[in-house]
Structure 1
Amino acid sequence: MTSDLRTRLLLMLVLPLCLLAMVGVWLDYRSADEAAVQHDQRLLRLMPALADSVLAPPIHDNEPPLLLLAPPIEDFLRLNAGFSGYSVRNTAGLLLLGDEWVNGTVPTTQAPEFHSVEYGGVTYRVAVQRGRTGAGELVVALADGSDPRQKWAQQLLLRVLLPNLVLLMAAGFAIHWAVRQAFKPLVVLAEAVERRSPRDLSPIDEAASPDEVRPLVHSLNHLFALVNAQAEGQRRFVADAAHQLRTPLAGLQAQVEAWAMMAKAAAPSRSLPSDFDKKQPPTQEGQAQGAIVLGVDQIEKLRNATRRTSQLAHQLLALSRADARSLDAQPPQRVDIKDLCESLLETFLDAATGKGLDLGLDMQPVHVTGHGWLLRELLSNLVDNAIRYTQPGGVVTIRCGLRLGRTGLPKAFVEVEDDGPGVPEDERARVLQRFYRVPGAGGEGTGLGLAIADEITRVHGATLTLDQGPHGRGLLVTVRFA
């Protein structure tokens, strides 16, 4: 934007200067032309004096006419020595007196004629007139090499074009520098806005902006305020709704868990009695056992539904907290990733064992700066996803440590690797979106786990990447810290 404005301003200022330079050249030429007209008039006034200088015809045939230069002609030749000349010819064009190079066509009338002659590297203005003299009718010519118009044409490059070109170049550089300095506050403002975090919606200091840019800054601040209010309202709504749902859902889940345990205790066998499927009416005992088994199944489905709902409320609350701008006000702390991974291993060990998974830990001591509870939420979602989608008998591994980055410096990392179905390469960017699940994916996920992990990763200035797991299958999720 600014470079385009600079170019436009530069052109808008330089083009008028070019036009003014052309006008200056034209005016200079007109001035030289007017001086040349006056110069021609001067030569014309001297022509009668030159004709009067021829006093008498020659005494002998081979001799020139008698010549006595009139004072005006004598002064003219003396003052313009080396750049002037004259000639006297008869009507046949034969030179009688003066310089051979001062020539021209013989006029047919007595009206004066003017033309230019190149001689000795000098362009002369020559006036020729046919008239009566003391030696009869002759043709006199007077040449002057100080014609302003001829000098202007000869010195066009040095006197006119070159100075104007230098002036235009100097003006162009000066204008470019001035425009660049004038636009510097706008460039600084653009860079400051570009460097901002997406969550930083604080107003821009209007007093630090030029007067011409303040309306734009004021509009930006107004837009920031509207977006901030809307985002804050959405975050507050999600947080309040998730928080209000947690208590009744926790009570409902506890009640359903108690019902499930009581139903299991009352039904030693989960299979229906043998007479339940027969075409004849079952016995009273068979009906009772069948009702108990069906009740256990319904309670199991209700328990799974309440668990999913509780998990969704918990994830919504975590997402709202991870997205809140209030994190900027909370000072980051030193977090021991190794201890965090060990505690998560203990937390998810029962769930992995119950599904027949091998949950392992490959770790090195490593520390990062951040929010411990958010990093725990990040790893919890990654491990929970891996356990949820890995088939029984699979392997889930948690890794942490240091690894050399592109700059050659060691960087902290955390990985969660599984050998489950994985995520297709063309879906890896979309699974980081909220509530998106890969079509045909099994399990009972909500589509928020990876979105929460990605949001927490960005809060900590880290990067989250999805790759293929070991042996060409599964999923490898890596978080690299700056």
Structure 2
Amino acid sequence: MKSGLQRRLLLLLLVPLGIFALISVYFDYQTAGSVALQKDQQLARLIPLLADSVVGPGITPGGREPLLLLAPAVDDFLKGRVGSAGFRISDAQGEFMAGEDWIPDLLPATHETEFHSIEHKGVTYRIAAQRANTAAGGLIVQLADGSDPRQQWVRSVLIKVLLPNLILVLAAGFALNWAVTRALKPLIELKDAVERRNPRDLSAIDPLATPAEVQPLVSALNRLFGLVNDQAEGQRRFVADAAHQLRTPLAGLQAQVEAWAQAAKVAQAAGSDGAVTLSAEKIIKLRNATRRTSQLANQLLALSRADASAAGAQPMQRVDLKELCESILPLHLDAAMRKGIDLGLETQPAQVSGHEWLLRELLGNLVDNAVKYTPPGGTVTIRCGRVSGLIASDAPTPPVPGSSGAGQPRWGFFLEVEDDGPGIAPNERGMALQRFYRVQGTAGEGNGLGLAIADEIARVHHSQLELDYAGTGPAGPYGLRVRLSL
């Protein structure tokens, strides 16, 4: 926008200045031509007087120089232009007789005055030549004038017109560039503010903070933001309502299927026939499908609640990360024990500003994923604590508990889940955070929403999930470490 609009404004302002400069050059040339015409007319008036100045033939024995008595007007002309004017008197064949010999011999064809231009020692002279009948006979008289403004026009226009106009245009260009840059600064700030916005931030722009000429555009953008926000809000409400309405019948169905599965296991343990065994296997498959459907509904509801634009409007509270980890651990102990997984806890005292219910959802999803995809006999560890060192990023960070905030160093805290499962390759980590994406070759069942929900919650807390390998062994990197910095 700066390179386009600013360039157009500068061109629209500088082009008229350039045109004015050319017009000034043209009028200066016209003025020089008028003055030159007057000079030619002056030479035409003085040529007859120069011819009359020849009062007789030469009196020197053997000499050719005629007897001269310069007319007062001619004498004044020559004395007033010492070094830039001269005359020459030649015979009818052009042979030099008197005056300046550097003036070339010109042979007018008639008795009319002819004008010529010559250059001598860097000076351009205007020469008037005429055949005249004098007291010494028919002679050729020439009068030279080196002050012709038209002949000196290029030099004078360069020094007196073009150079000042060029300096004026350059100075005006710098001044206009500064003025246009200052004038466009609100537009540049508006552009930068829109570019820095999170794609999910559809809040209105303050029209009063923009110039009056841009306020209609800002109002149109605000209307567009409002329409998009209403549409997104409608989609969120639909997902939330659908997920909420599905929870109750799914919970009832899951309860019934769980009861059937338990009864089938009892019958199978009692040594029933093959038909009962086949029926028990079908019921167990139905139970697993019902569990996945119920989990999907719960995750869709959590995803809707974790939306950045919806959760960001709610005030943050003080959250004890250690207490949060300790409350999540018992919820996943049974699933970990069924697979023989060592589910552990490594916590340090840590308090942050955030949404407690969202962080609980995030940690629950991370632990559930770790337990689900870690092979039997593996290890899953939940951690929280303080980051060693100052935070280097510009992301909003809560102050250290008990500090005044201003002038205090801002320390970071983290929430982390680590497992020794298959891990996620670096080229798939970005896609793994997308909704409904599952890493190729992953064992177990899932909907591809766990990490997407966790990433959405991280955005609400002005952060992002950091995925990395848990370690490196003889066979290469292994495991997955998911960290949230707060």
1-structure distance, mates of 2:91, 2:202: 99
Give 1:120 shift: 5.5
Give 1:332 shift: 1.1
2-structure distance, mates of 1:62, 1:366: 126
Give 1:410 shift: 5.1
Residues 371-422 of structure 1, C-alpha deviation per residue, up to 9 Å, x if partnerless? Answer: 1111111111111001111111111122223144783985322222222222
What amino acid is aligned across from residue 150 of structure 2 in structure 1? Answer: R
Q: What is the match of residue 235 of structure 1?
A: 236
Aligned: 1:38 with 2:38 = yes
- 2:43 alignment partner, SS class: helix
Q: What is the match of residue 246 of structure 1?
A: 247
Cα gap change, 1:116/1:237 in structure 2, threshold over 3 Å: closer, same or farther? same
Q: What is the match of residue 407 of structure 1?
A: 392
**Conserved? CA contact 2:28–2:157, under 8 Å:** no
What amino acid is aligned across from residue 142 of structure 1 in structure 2? Answer: L
Q: What is the match of residue 277 of structure 1?
A: none
1-structure distance, mates of 2:61, 2:107: 22
Aligned: 1:138 with 2:139 = yes
Cα gap change, 1:359/1:473 in structure 2, threshold over 3 Å: closer, same or farther? farther
Aligned: 1:356 with 2:361 = no
2-structure distance, mates of 1:381, 1:395: 17
State percent identity of aligned pairs.
Answer: 59
- 1:149 alignment partner, SS class: coil
Residues 332-381 of structure 1, C-alpha deviation per residue, up to 9 Å, x if partnerless? Answer: 12222222222222221221111101112233333322111111111111
Which stretch shows the higher mean deviation, 346-355 or 97-106? Answer: 97-106
Cα gap change, 1:172/1:157 in structure 2, threshold over 3 Å: closer, same or farther? same
Aligned: 1:476 with 2:480 = yes
Which stretch shows the higher mean deviation, 392-401 or 423-432? Answer: 423-432
2:297 to 288, 313, 319: 313
**Conserved? CA contact 2:336–2:371, under 8 Å:** yes
Give 1:121 shift: 4.9
What amino acid is aligned across from residue 372 of structure 2 in structure 1? Answer: R
1:370 to 346, 354, 357: 354
What amino acid is aligned across from residue 224 of structure 1 in structure 2? Answer: F
Q: What is the match of residue 283 of structure 1?
A: none
Matches within 5 A, 1:194-213: 194-213=195-214
TM-score, with length taken from structure 2: 0.88
Cα gap change, 1:29/1:104 in structure 2, threshold over 3 Å: closer, same or farther? farther
Q: What is the match of residue 225 of structure 1?
A: 226
1-structure distance, mates of 2:312, 2:383: 28
Give 1:43 shift: 0.5
1-structure distance, mates of 2:70, 2:90: 16
**Conserved? CA contact 1:337–1:400, under 8 Å:** yes
Aligned: 1:54 with 2:58 = no
Matches within 5 A, 1:193-342: 193-269=194-270, 273=271, 287=273, 290=274, 292-323=276-307, 325-342=309-326
2-structure distance, mates of 1:328, 1:466: 24
Give 1:479 shift: 2.7
Q: What is the match of residue 432 of structure 1?
A: 433
Q: What is the match of residue 279 of structure 1?
A: none
Matches within 5 A, 1:67-146: 67-119=68-120, 121-146=122-147
**Conserved? CA contact 2:84–2:145, under 8 Å:** yes
Structure 1, unpaired ranges of 5+:
274-285
**Conserved? CA contact 1:103–1:141, under 8 Å:** no
Give 1:152 shift: 1.8
- 2:422 alignment partner, SS class: coil
Cα gap change, 1:254/1:417 in structure 2, threshold over 3 Å: closer, same or farther? same
- 1:140 alignment partner, SS class: strand
2-structure distance, mates of 1:231, 1:223: 12
Give 1:47 shift: 0.5
- 1:58 alignment partner, SS class: coil
**Conserved? CA contact 1:419–1:473, under 8 Å:** no
2-structure distance, mates of 1:251, 1:35: 109
Which stretch shows the higher mean deviation, 413-422 or 397-406? Answer: 397-406
Q: What is the match of residue 13 of structure 2?
A: 13
**Conserved? CA contact 1:84–1:144, under 8 Å:** yes
Aligned: 1:25 with 2:25 = yes
1-structure distance, mates of 2:183, 2:193: 17
1-structure distance, mates of 2:168, 2:74: 43
2-structure distance, mates of 1:21, 1:78: 38
What amino acid is aligned across from residue 184 of structure 2 in structure 1? Answer: F
**Conserved? CA contact 1:466–1:475, under 8 Å:** no
**Conserved? CA contact 1:389–1:420, under 8 Å:** yes
Q: What is the match of residue 193 of structure 2?
A: 192
Cα gap change, 1:303/1:421 in structure 2, threshold over 3 Å: closer, same or farther? same
**Conserved? CA contact 1:417–1:475, under 8 Å:** yes
**Conserved? CA contact 1:56–1:134, under 8 Å:** yes
**Conserved? CA contact 1:239–1:320, under 8 Å:** yes
2-structure distance, mates of 1:205, 1:82: 76
Which stretch shows the higher mean deviation, 433-442 or 251-260? Answer: 251-260
Structure 2, unpaired ranges of 5+:
394-409
What amino acid is aligned across from residue 256 of structure 2 in structure 1? Answer: Q
Q: What is the match of residue 154 of structure 2?
A: 153
Q: What is the match of residue 442 of structure 2?
A: 441
2-structure distance, mates of 1:326, 1:448: 18
2-structure distance, mates of 1:213, 1:353: 64
Cα gap change, 1:31/1:113 in structure 2, threshold over 3 Å: closer, same or farther? same
Q: What is the match of residue 401 of structure 2?
A: none
**Conserved? CA contact 2:127–2:143, under 8 Å:** yes
Give 1:6 shift: 1.4
Which stretch shows the higher mean deviation, 369-378 or 188-197? Answer: 188-197
What amino acid is aligned across from residue 43 of structure 2 in structure 1? Answer: L
Give 1:294 shift: 4.0
Matches within 5 A, 1:389-400: 389-400=373-384
- 1:142 alignment partner, SS class: strand
- 2:269 alignment partner, SS class: coil
Q: What is the match of residue 396 of structure 2?
A: none
What amino acid is aligned across from residue 423 of structure 1 in structure 2? Answer: I
Give 1:293 shift: 3.8
Give 1:77 shift: 2.4
Which stretch shows the higher mean deviation, 376-385 or 75-84? Answer: 75-84
**Conserved? CA contact 2:308–2:459, under 8 Å:** no
**Conserved? CA contact 2:308–2:457, under 8 Å:** no
**Conserved? CA contact 2:25–2:157, under 8 Å:** no
**Conserved? CA contact 2:380–2:418, under 8 Å:** yes
Cα gap change, 1:431/1:226 in structure 2, threshold over 3 Å: closer, same or farther? same
- 2:207 alignment partner, SS class: coil
What amino acid is aligned across from residue 334 of structure 1 in structure 2? Answer: R
Give 1:426 shift: 3.0
Give 1:265 shift: 4.4
